[in-house]
Amino acid sequence: AQRVTQPEKLLSVFKGAPVELKCNYSYSGSPELFWYVQYSRQRLQLLLRHISRESIKGFTADLNKGETSFHLKKPFAQEEDSAMYYCALGGSNYKLTFGKGTLLTVNP
């Protein structure tokens, strides 16, 4: 069975500090991994997909198959990064399995 684990429910950092949101997955096949973000009172939106190896809003995420991880990182957090972040794993029939989410708060 596929599973996504985000061990931190809450993460609080100061502006300008590095931030890392952890995500571990369990999947028997070749994983397709994503990070979604939900800003306050807004809909869920795609932030990153591992396959494109892109950097969005300063965030990056590297797939580590050995550690079955897909941690989200940003070297210098901004207040506008405060949001709920969900790691998601693509499975059969294009379904996504979401982690429980990490609420990031960036303090001034």
Partner 1 sequence: GAVVSQHPSWVICKSGTSVKIECRSLDFQATTMFWYRQFPKQSLMLMATSNEGSKATYEQGVEKDKFLINHASLTLSTLTVTSAHPEDSSFYICSARQTSLLYEQYFGPGTRLTVT
Q: What number of H helices and E strands is found in the chain?
A: 0, 11
Using CB under 8 A as the binding rule, whether residue 40 contacts partner 1 is answered as no
Number of amino acids touching partner 1 (CB under 8 A): 19
Site string (47-66) toward partner 1, x via CB under 8 A: --x-----------------
State which of residues 5, 24, 82, 97 lies at the interface with partner 1 (CB under 8 A): 97
Using CB under 8 A as the binding rule, whether residue 30 contacts partner 1 is answered as no
State which of residues 23, 72, 74, 90 lies at the interface with partner 1 (CB under 8 A): 90
Strand 24-26 and strand 3-5: the pairing is antiparallel
Those residues whose C-beta lies under 8 Å from the C-beta of residue 15, and which sit 6 or more positions away, are 77, 78, 79, 106, 107, 108
Residue 56 in 3-state DSSP? Answer: strand
Which residues contact partner 1 by CB under 8 A?
A: 32, 34, 42-46, 49, 86, 90, 93-101
